Structure 1
Amino acid sequence: MPHVVTQSCCSDASCVYACPVNCIHPTPDEPDFLTAEMLHIDPQACVDCGACVSACPVDAIVPESKLTDPQRVFLSINADFYKEERPRPLLAKVIPAAHVDKGRPPLRVAIVGSGPSAMYAADELLTQPDVQVNVFDRLPVPYGLVRAGVAPDHQKTKQVTRLFDKIAAQKGFEFYLNVEIGKHISHSELLENHHAVLYAVGASSDRGLGIPGADLPGTASATDFVAWYNGHPDHADDVFDLSHRRAVIIGNGNVALDVARILTADPEKLAGTDISAHALAALRKSRVEEVVIVGRRGIAQSAFTVPEFTGLMALPDIELSVGPDDMVLDSATEELAKRGELPHAVEQKLRLLEALKNRDHVDVGNKRITLRYLLTPTSITGDDQVSGIEFARNALVDANGTVQIEATGDTETIDAGLVLTSIGYRGVPITGVPFDERASVIPNENGRVLEAPNGDPATGVYATGWIKRGPSGFIGTNKSCAQETIRMLVDDFNDGRLTNPVADDSAVDRLVRARQSDVVDREGWHAIDKAELERGAAHDRVREKVLDQVEITSILDAAARVKPARRFGRPVRAR
């Protein structure tokens, strides 16, 4: 019996290189890797050895014999990927690590950001001896969107932090958390003290609706809502009105599905996760019964991924539906379907949506998620609070082979007390670093930062992750993205194009600590992590996140009294 890739796949491709028969695709060197929504095991080629199971950082691979009933749909999702034979070598092509010239002084790199793209970049650098990597983040805790973005009911996905912990434990790695670039240390000071500075700061801002009423109380971004329930320090004091029976989410990507799922979940099933205490308390009092997820295009253009939607369909206590009038295909998709040439992901989504439309109605309680399509928001209604949202009805048209929408003239209003937007993300500028306002990324060529879009390279400055390529891909996609950037960085170092630091590594440490007494280093993060896990265990939870800076400082001081941290041969306070 074959093994099967299931919902929590993060696409980091560790399984690809563990497989002795090259039966997991797409591989990082294949053209569809960056757009694939998950990896797939060929059931005909799989020899059932299980090597991929131990390689997967998020426990996404399961033997067929151990699949649960909701997971069995992944049998066909995996198998259908191989309906057309894929040419492939005996083994997947291994992408070699960038080789640092040992004849040069030890390479020292600053990485700004501590999420997946940063950690994969650090790992790639630390494959080489004597490399020093200093990771900076303005938050006092690391791992970016894995900690503050992945939904609390997706604990398997969050397991990738175990890999990040191993990366952070390597010789040559150090955290400088609770340190803000431009406030505690400047971009130019980072460059002076490192051969290179690599920005891995993601895309932390949202695209706005830009319609009347978008600033009414009761309207917010889904990103802020996610940060709120995940315990992001910037959003610990946010308040969301959950007193109305209906909430509307504009946009139908994975974040929209996450938010809808959390809003309709039984709070007691979330109580054992790492959801923030303030969000759990609010959800226990919530009166939201229905969440409407709205997309302006058709079902074939659904932005959510197959694994996430499959997981949503499997929930036993939520009524999920799609309007029959919304099950409309554009002519281009219809033609591809007739020829059997639909992209794998689109074919699977259409199959799942059709199954959803046709499945028998089962009364599972008072919580409902409704998918709507072909609606463009035109205004949010209400006087001093959101009361609803008005939409223009769309039709799908073929414009020279491109699917577009045009208004039909019909309108629709949906009553709601909460409107959340999830229509895309934008990078934000960093003081002293080039920025492309149009694309909302740091301008770069294969990770080398440019002085301006299409300009000359900025010496010693690099980018990876969403701030490099825009908001696309998944957790594991950042691995291949980081590999590309690190190859550019190491090539520049080996060719002598990078400037040597003005002082040894202790200089940047002294500089940061002189300006930010509450810096959290690697030992400090261990203390916070330990405290959160212990507090969680005491309340039968995965962890209980510490959000208050005063409390964090207290934890660090207590840890320092027990075991003083040592840096550069002298004891210092852990903070």
Structure 2
Amino acid sequence: MRHVAVIGSGPAGYYSAEALQKIYGADVHVDVIDRMPVPYGLIRFGVAPDHQSIKAVYKRYEKVALSDNVRFVGNVTVGKDVAIDELQQLYDAVILATGAPNDRPVGIPGDDLPGVVGSAAFVGWYNGHPDFVGLAPRLDTPGAVVIGNGNVALDVARILSKTAHEFEGSDIVAGALDALQASAIRDIHVLGRRGPHQIAMTPKELGELGHLERAAPRVDPADLPPVEDDAALDPGLRKSVTILRDFAANPPVGDKPKTIDFDFFAKPVRIEGDGKVERVIVERTKLDESGRAVGTGETYAVECGLVVSCIGYRTPPIDGVPYDEDHGRFANDEGRIGDGLYCVGWARRGPTGTIGTNRPDGFAIADLIHADFGTALSRKSGRPGLDRLLDERQVDIVTFRDWQKIEAAEAERARDGSPREKFTYVEEMLRQLGIGRTT
């Protein structure tokens, strides 16, 4: 029997568990450990609430989680309830699948003013993450700036723009929905240092902005390169640029009260305000021969009271685990950190790729573990050893069956048309199980 602990119950964690099952069959026990009492990580707290078809991938993980040799161990914080070196003593292999939940800092003067939030916090707020339920982003202002040219920036702009009707069928939490419907935001600027040919926005997500009930996207035609240059782009990017060209060619008409302006070749250099955000100072850029954005010296101001930074994420360090500060991830060699210690997904490669990218990543790590350990008999105690340790420390674990009780309670309290109304406090989740101790 092989004993493996996976830290993190998001896509990378469950794909790793699935891969270990395929390699070892019944001869492996996998414990998927998470500090939250609820599984799925990025699927629950990161994917936009109005993208339910993407969230449906959780059904694949559910099948893995309900198998006899995979166990969800929720409400357990690694580094507090149990240390990494203790897990290494209990398990043959420990896989860090913690993702990259921390925002990269903006890194410009004024980025600490009230009104500046990172996308991890903002997305966590409207997705009901317990860490961010009290965020209270500034929505009592007509202007908002979204920094970044990827899909997360599109998610933020779209969520800031939608009507209550457009949120039907989503699982946005009630508190965020109420705050957004009372929002005074009317002008949203999406800032990107480079141009339309350098965006990381996919056609589906970009195209959604063209169908919003009360918001219209705008692109300055002068920012678009000659149309014949699009031929050199990969098909997906070419489709996205075509959508931007359509936004530029068909300026908004009618009485839509909100606008989403794409500011390309725009580098934020300073955030100003008297005790709170009041404007972002932006420098116009141009591309040099290598494709880098360089400043031109020309600046302009965007008046706003909310700034959401969507410029990337970092994996939080863990005591005793080598860390790559430059890339914001664990230091590793193709997923191997050290003897019996591995990392997978964003914790391995940084915040790149889609949810599906984590599947081959998980299988690669499982192959690596198999190559390192083969089929030799394990001398580790694994699951029983962890249970004894947590019991001694009076840590109440939440199993997958327990989670299903929480899930049923969330479905029961859902508003009409919504699949669930999430509990946004750990205490509320544990109360459904009769557990009083929190992480």
TM-score, normalised to structure 2, is 0.94
- Does 1:371 find its partner at 2:262? yes
C-alpha distance in 2, partners of 1:403/1:553? 51
Give the equivalent residue in structure 1 for 2:222. Answer: 325
- Does 1:535 find its partner at 2:432? no
- Does 1:466 find its partner at 2:361? no
1:189 Cα deviation (Å)? 1.2
1:518 Cα deviation (Å)? 3.1
- Does 1:517 find its partner at 2:395? yes
- Does 1:384 find its partner at 2:272? no
Give the equivalent residue in structure 2 for 1:356. Answer: 247
Work out whether residues 116 and 475 of structure 1, in 8 Å CA contact, stay in contact via their aligned partners in 2.
yes
The CA deviation string for residues 49-85 of structure 1, in whole angstroms up to 9 with x for no partner, is xxxxxxxxxxxxxxxxxxxxxxxxxxxxxxxxxxxxx
Give the equivalent residue in structure 1 for 2:386. Answer: 508
Taking every aligned residue pair, what percent have the same amino acid on both sides?
Answer: 39
- Which residue of 290, 312, 328 corresponds with 1:424? 312
Report the secondary structure of 2:288's partner residue. Answer: strand
- Which residue of 421, 433, 438 corresponds with 1:556? 433
| Bigger radius of gyration | 1
Give the equivalent residue in structure 2 for 1:344. Answer: 235
Work out whether residues 513 and 519 of structure 1, in 8 Å CA contact, stay in contact via their aligned partners in 2.
no
Work out whether residues 390 and 396 of structure 2, in 8 Å CA contact, stay in contact via their aligned partners in 1.
no
Question: Residue 425 and residue 549 in structure 1: after superposition, are their counterparts in 2 closer, same or farther (change >3 A)?
Answer: closer
1:462 Cα deviation (Å)? 0.9
- Does 1:491 find its partner at 2:371? yes
For 1:321, the aligned partner's letter is R
User: Unaligned stretches of 5+ in structure 2?
Assistant: none
- Does 1:108 find its partner at 2:3? yes
Give the equivalent residue in structure 2 for 1:212. Answer: 109
1:481 Cα deviation (Å)? 0.9
1:143 Cα deviation (Å)? 0.5
C-alpha distance in 1, partners of 2:383/2:297? 65
- Which residue of 29, 33, 46 corresponds with 1:132? 29
Work out whether residues 163 and 213 of structure 2, in 8 Å CA contact, stay in contact via their aligned partners in 1.
no
5 Å-filtered alignment, 1:154-173, equals 154-173=51-70
Work out whether residues 379 and 391 of structure 1, in 8 Å CA contact, stay in contact via their aligned partners in 2.
yes
Give the equivalent residue in structure 2 for 1:141. Answer: 38
1:271 Cα deviation (Å)? 5.2
Kindly tell me the number of residue pairs found equivalent between the two proteins: 436
Work out whether residues 96 and 342 of structure 2, in 8 Å CA contact, stay in contact via their aligned partners in 1.
yes
User: Unaligned stretches of 5+ in structure 1?
Assistant: 1-105, 450-457, 559-572
1:540 Cα deviation (Å)? 4.0
1:312 Cα deviation (Å)? 2.6
1:157 Cα deviation (Å)? 0.6
For 2:274, the aligned partner's letter is D
Over 3 Å off, 4+ runs: 314-317
Work out whether residues 186 and 258 of structure 2, in 8 Å CA contact, stay in contact via their aligned partners in 1.
yes
Work out whether residues 264 and 290 of structure 1, in 8 Å CA contact, stay in contact via their aligned partners in 2.
no
Give the equivalent residue in structure 1 for 2:201. Answer: 304
Give the equivalent residue in structure 2 for 1:478. Answer: 358
C-alpha distance in 2, partners of 1:328/1:425? 30
For 2:286, the aligned partner's letter is A
For 1:353, the aligned partner's letter is L
Work out whether residues 71 and 400 of structure 2, in 8 Å CA contact, stay in contact via their aligned partners in 1.
yes
C-alpha distance in 1, partners of 2:301/2:39? 42
- Which residue of 295, 298, 301 corresponds with 1:413? 301
Work out whether residues 375 and 392 of structure 1, in 8 Å CA contact, stay in contact via their aligned partners in 2.
yes
Work out whether residues 460 and 499 of structure 1, in 8 Å CA contact, stay in contact via their aligned partners in 2.
no
C-alpha distance in 2, partners of 1:347/1:133? 43
C-alpha distance in 2, partners of 1:548/1:492? 41
The CA deviation string for residues 414-462 of structure 1, in whole angstroms up to 9 with x for no partner, is 100101111111112111212111222112222212xxxxxxxx11111
- Does 1:545 find its partner at 2:383? no
Work out whether residues 379 and 390 of structure 1, in 8 Å CA contact, stay in contact via their aligned partners in 2.
yes
CA RMSD, 1 decimal: 2.2
